[in-house]
């Protein structure tokens, strides 16, 4: 209302306070231009019918109408009913608003509208008494048994809430609907008549009764039946203990500020929250949270149902909308359809994992399908390796889930993995190979599949006067306030001819574009639909030298594939208006775009350009360097797909951008790997130990459980020989206070062997460095219990171990205020340490790339693809969760 004159502001302020708003609330409303304009119209219309003095109840109804009405064209219609006293309660108003939302096209069926919101229906005290009596009679036995511990809200609900579940043979009661003796002027009434109606119909009539009156009647009749409360009635009912979840079933959440899934108003169209970007510390991991499928199932997000696009705030309804939605439902059968549309010009990163989980997860949770669609409209930057890597990562994340459960694959479960059935069957239009049950693309498509149709629609857009050929240079139309195009109003036929010349290659790159005639939400004028690029396309070759933009392609591809929910991150909110505009300009099915918050991690960069710089400068080896947070890098480092999916579930679905600490992802990995990674023993800094009284002439075989907490999951054998190797750090010549491991005079136990060793001799080199220990062993059942047990290897395999730390020193390496020299100046010089001569027990000899193990006392490790016969390479995924009291 900034353009209002001072007098008009004061007048409007008086209108608002005149309906009962406080001055502070009235001024707050004035600051919202759209709302204040609607409310002003509503108040003036009501005053013209009722006079200048409006009671507070009427004012509240008017204010609620202005704030909750989605389509302003119905404002006058609804205010008329309020002014005529035909809508008297907020309950009726809610029903009226719901009705007009469900019937977006005019004219409305007035009789049907009035039935839907109780116009003219008056409920007498006798009717309320009779209905409550019937409900209490139905629950009489439970009431007498539970007395005042019975859920009285159930009685209220039974008396008020309409029901359509009663069978034709439901119990019949008689009641009278009548108008009060003196109805207010203009109040519609129903004729008084006795009739036979089912209980369900009685409830439907009582829907419009005053809730307080019904509660009073319930309380009165319950008191008459049970009498006053006794001491036993006043005692609190004991809580029923909830069944505890097994560890593998638990989902835990970190401490997240303003990031948890919120009400419907916080998600989707109309949500403009660009505010705080919550930071999630590595905090409490103990609070249970719903799984991602539970968060996405049914109406959890209050998304529209298929075919009910028009119920979404901001959705544009045209005269042909309902017919197009009817055709859409005939094609999809009411199925939920989503899509994951990556650009094949880089590798997917952790943020994409949220998008994959959201799109595939929402479809899966609601019995729908998800398309994998490559947005391949920029041939200059697209490479086949990106197509392949994207598909691999989608399938890899999908392998983690099987319905509600999880496919748990450990290194020693490989036969089970190979015997899993291949469940996916591709539809005729699908170009995907079979994958394990999980996140399965319904079809793999490409924007380029639709280039012919997109071109045809571009011609139609020009014919309809909604697009034109422009010759402004790229630098001229950049920014938010570029000069208007002098070619905006050129004749349609001229634009058609010039667009054909663009297609034939008669214009150079940058000399001509096709622009659409609209203003986007961020104020940008006339976005580009097509531009000239003399670059062969990897799929269409040199057929085209004009390529569509994201703004033109995205919504139309969604329309072609009959997507129901186009889920994208918040930065695309500014493109929502062009999304709706373009579909409606061409008169084709218009999906709904819903936005959610991005997922970011601290201590990393995910920008394609910046990762390329890291690779080019040799800071990292490639896109799959385990120090990065691309999905290929996380897989190479050893993160299970379940851990990444669980991480996304804990972040939740939110509009606000979530900035997460890597610790939460690490915690998710530990939780999954603890259940999936079989145990092995490895020594990074070997110290030779000779057992001088070894109890056998040759090596013994020791059975070691794959999962010590659950020995039913099997064992593996490791040799136990006279010569073993322990960690150099597990021995000290002098034991400090609190030190519990091996030292002269301080024995230590060897894990899994049943033996305790005691130092007899320390052998050093000329420099005084300890080279070898000579020890004796004693069976643990006769030896004094040692203070600690250590791991060891014997007859081991030599291997290389890569230990990773954070790639960057600061939380926000791209923030100039934290890192003035740029992200390349913030590299951690100790982000990688390679141990070339580590030793690992022989149980891992048949492991393959990406197999995972827990090296006892060291952490979780994964076999790297660089492994060769005779020289295995392991990447440390995460360390073990440290016990503060452990030495």
Q: Categorize the per-residue pLDDT at 2 as very low, low, confident or very high, splitting at 50, 70 and 90.
A: very low
Region 645-669 average pLDDT: 88
- pLDDT given for residue 70 in this prediction: 81
Instruction: Catalogue the active-site residues.
Output: 343, 598, 608
- pLDDT given for residue 405 in this prediction: 38
- pLDDT given for residue 322 in this prediction: 94
pLDDT per residue as tens digits for the range 842-887: 999 999 999 999 999 999 999 999 999 889 999 999 999 744 433 4
Distance from C-alpha of 311 to C-alpha of 317, rounded to nearest angstrom: 10
Cβ(296)–Cβ(354) below 8 Å: no
- pLDDT given for residue 186 in this prediction: 32
pLDDT per residue as tens digits for the range 304-351: 999 999 988 888 899 999 999 999 999 999 999 999 999 999 899 999
Q: What percent of the chain has pLDDT over 70?
A: 82
- pLDDT given for residue 174 in this prediction: 29
Q: Categorize the per-residue pLDDT at 196 as very low, low, confident or very high, splitting at 50, 70 and 90.
A: very low
Distance from C-alpha of 105 to C-alpha of 18, rounded to nearest angstrom: 33
pLDDT at 425 over 80: no
The least confident of 476-485, 551-560, 732-741, 854-863 is 476-485
The least confident of 205-219, 451-465, 809-823 is 205-219
Structure tokens at 435: 């994958």
Q: Categorize the per-residue pLDDT at 572 as very low, low, confident or very high, splitting at 50, 70 and 90.
A: confident
CATH architecture of 6-116: Orthogonal Bundle (1.10)
Which of these, 269, 349, 361, lies nearest to 605 by C-alpha position?
349
Q: Categorize the per-residue pLDDT at 440 as very low, low, confident or very high, splitting at 50, 70 and 90.
A: confident
Structure tokens at 533: 């690029």
Q: Categorize the per-residue pLDDT at 415 as very low, low, confident or very high, splitting at 50, 70 and 90.
A: very low
- pLDDT given for residue 725 in this prediction: 98
HEC assignment per residue over 31-55? CCHHHHHHHHHHHHHHHHHHCCCCC
Q: 775 in helix, strand or coil?
A: strand
Alpha-carbon torsion, ordered 319, 321, 327, 328, to 10 deg: 170
Structure tokens at 780: 């643990």
The least confident of 369-378, 432-441, 534-543 is 432-441
Residue 516, strand partner residues: 467
- What are the domain boundaries of the chain? 6-116, 125-230, 447-552, 679-731+790-887
Span 679-731+790-887: which CATH code?
A: 2.40.240.10
Cβ(763)–Cβ(772) below 8 Å: yes
State the fold for domain 447-552.
3.90.800
HEC assignment per residue over 165-212? CCCCCCCEEEEEECCCCCCCCCCCCCCCEEEEEEHHHHHHHHCCCCHH
- Mean pLDDT across the chain: 83
- pLDDT given for residue 718 in this prediction: 97
Structure tokens at 678: 């079989």
Cβ(834)–Cβ(398) below 8 Å: no
């Amino acid at each position: 209302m900034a353009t209002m004159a001072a007098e008009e502001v004061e007048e409007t302020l008086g209108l608002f306070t005149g309906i009962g708003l406080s001055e502070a609330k009235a001024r707050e409303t004035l600051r919202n231009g759209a709302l204040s304009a609607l409310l002003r119209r509503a108040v003036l219309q009501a005053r013209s019918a009722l006079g200048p003095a409006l009671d507070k109840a009427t004012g509240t109804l008017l204010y609620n109408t202005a704030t909750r009405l989605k389509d302003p064209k119905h404002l006058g219609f609804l205010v008329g009913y309020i002014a005529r006293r035909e809508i008297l309660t907020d309950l009726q108003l809610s029903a009226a608003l719901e009705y007009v939302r469900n019937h977006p096209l005019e004219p409305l069926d007035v009789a049907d509208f009035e039935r839907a919101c109780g116009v003219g229906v008056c409920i007498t005290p006798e009717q309320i008494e009779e209905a409550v009596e019937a409900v209490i009679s139905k629950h009489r036995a439970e009431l007498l048994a539970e007395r005042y511990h019975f859920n009285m809200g159930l009685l209220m609900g039974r008396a008020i809430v309409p029901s359509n579940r009663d069978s034709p043979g439901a119990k019949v009661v008689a009641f009278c609907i009548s108008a009060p003796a003196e109805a207010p002027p203009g109040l519609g009434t129903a004729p008084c008549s006795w009739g036979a109606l089912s209980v369900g119909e009685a409830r439907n009539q009582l829907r419009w009764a005053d809730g307080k009156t019904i509660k009073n009647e319930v309380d009165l009749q319950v008191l008459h039946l049970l009498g006053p409360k006794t001491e036993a009635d006043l005692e609190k009912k004991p809580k029923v203990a909830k069944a505890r979840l097994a560890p593998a079933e638990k989902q835990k959440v970190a401490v997240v500020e303003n990031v948890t899934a919120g009400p419907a108003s916080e998600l989707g169209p109309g949500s403009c929250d660009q505010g705080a970007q919550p930071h999630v510390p590595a905090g409490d991991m103990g609070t249970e949270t719903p799984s991602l499928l539970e968060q996405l199932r049914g109406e959890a997000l209050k998304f529209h149902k298929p075919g009910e696009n028009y119920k979404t705030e901001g959705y544009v309804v045209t005269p042909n909308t309902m017919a197009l939605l009817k055709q859409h439902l005939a094609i999809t059968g009411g199925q939920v359809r989503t899509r994951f549309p990556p650009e094949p010009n880089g590798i997917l990163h952790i943020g994409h994992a949220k998008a994959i989980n959201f799109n595939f997860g929402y479809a899966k949770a609601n019995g729908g399908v998800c398309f994998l669609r490559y947005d391949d409209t920029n041939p200059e930057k697209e490479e086949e390796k990106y197509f392949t890597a994207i598909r691999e990562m989608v399938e890899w994340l999908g392998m983690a889930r099987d319905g509600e459960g999880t496919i748990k694959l450990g290194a020693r479960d490989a036969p089970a993995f190979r015997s899993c059935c291949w469940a996916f069957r591709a539809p005729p239009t699908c170009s995907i190979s079979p994958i394990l049950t999980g996140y399965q693309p319904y079809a793999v498509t490409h924007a380029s599949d639709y280039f012919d149709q997109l071109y045809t629609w571009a011609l139609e857009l020009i014919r309809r006067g909604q697009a034109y050929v422009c010759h402004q240079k790229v630098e001229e139309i950049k920014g938010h306030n570029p000069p208007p195009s002098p070619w905006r109003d050129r004749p349609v036929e001229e634009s058609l001819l010039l667009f054909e010349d663009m297609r034939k290659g008669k214009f150079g790159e940058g000399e001509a574009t096709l622009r659409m005639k609209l203003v986007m939400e961020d104020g940008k004028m006339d976005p580009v639909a097509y531009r000239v690029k003399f670059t062969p396309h990897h799929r269409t070759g040199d057929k085209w030298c004009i390529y569509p933009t994201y703004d033109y392609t995205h919504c139309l591809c969604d329309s072609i594939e009959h997507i129901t929910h186009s889920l994208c991150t918040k930065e695309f909110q500014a493109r929502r208006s062009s999304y709706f505009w373009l579909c409606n300009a061409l008169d084709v099915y218009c999906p709904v775009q819903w936005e959610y918050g991005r997922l970011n991690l601290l201590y990393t960069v995910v920008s394609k350009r910046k990762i390329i710089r890291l690779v080019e400068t040799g800071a990292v080896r490639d896109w799959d360097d385990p120090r990065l947070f691309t999905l290929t890098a996380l897989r190479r480092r050893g993160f299970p797909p379940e851990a990444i999916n669980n991480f996304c579930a804990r972040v939740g679905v939110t509009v606000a951008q979530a900035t997460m600490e890597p610790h939460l992802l690490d915690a998710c990995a530990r939780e999954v790997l603890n259940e999936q990674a079989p145990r092995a023993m490895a020594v990074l800094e070997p110290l030779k130990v000779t057992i001088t009284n070894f109890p056998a002439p040759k090596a013994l075989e020791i059975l070691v459980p794959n999962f010590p907490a659950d020995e039913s999951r099997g064992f593996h054998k490791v040799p136990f020989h006279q010569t073993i190797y322990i960690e150099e750090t597990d021995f000290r010549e002098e034991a400090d206070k609190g030190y519990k491991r091996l030292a002269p005079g301080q024995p230590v136990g060897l894990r899994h062997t049943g033996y305790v060793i005691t130092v007899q001799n320390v052998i050093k080199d000329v420099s005084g460095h300890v080279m070898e220990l000579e020890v004796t062993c004693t069976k643990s059942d006769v030896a004094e219990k040692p203070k600690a047990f250590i791991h060891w290897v014997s007859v081991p395999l030599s291997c290389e171990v890569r230990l990773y730390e954070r790639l960057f020193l600061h939380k926000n390496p791209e923030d100039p205020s934290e890192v003035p020299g740029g992200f390349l100046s913030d590299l951690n010089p100790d982000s990688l340490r390679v141990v070339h001569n580590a030793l690992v027990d022989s149980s891992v000899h048949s492991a393959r790339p990406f197999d995972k193990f827990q090296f006892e006392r060291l952490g979780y490790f994964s076999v790297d693809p660089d492994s060769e016969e005779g020289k295995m390479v392991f990447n440390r995924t995460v360390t073990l969760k440290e016990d503060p009291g452990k030495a």
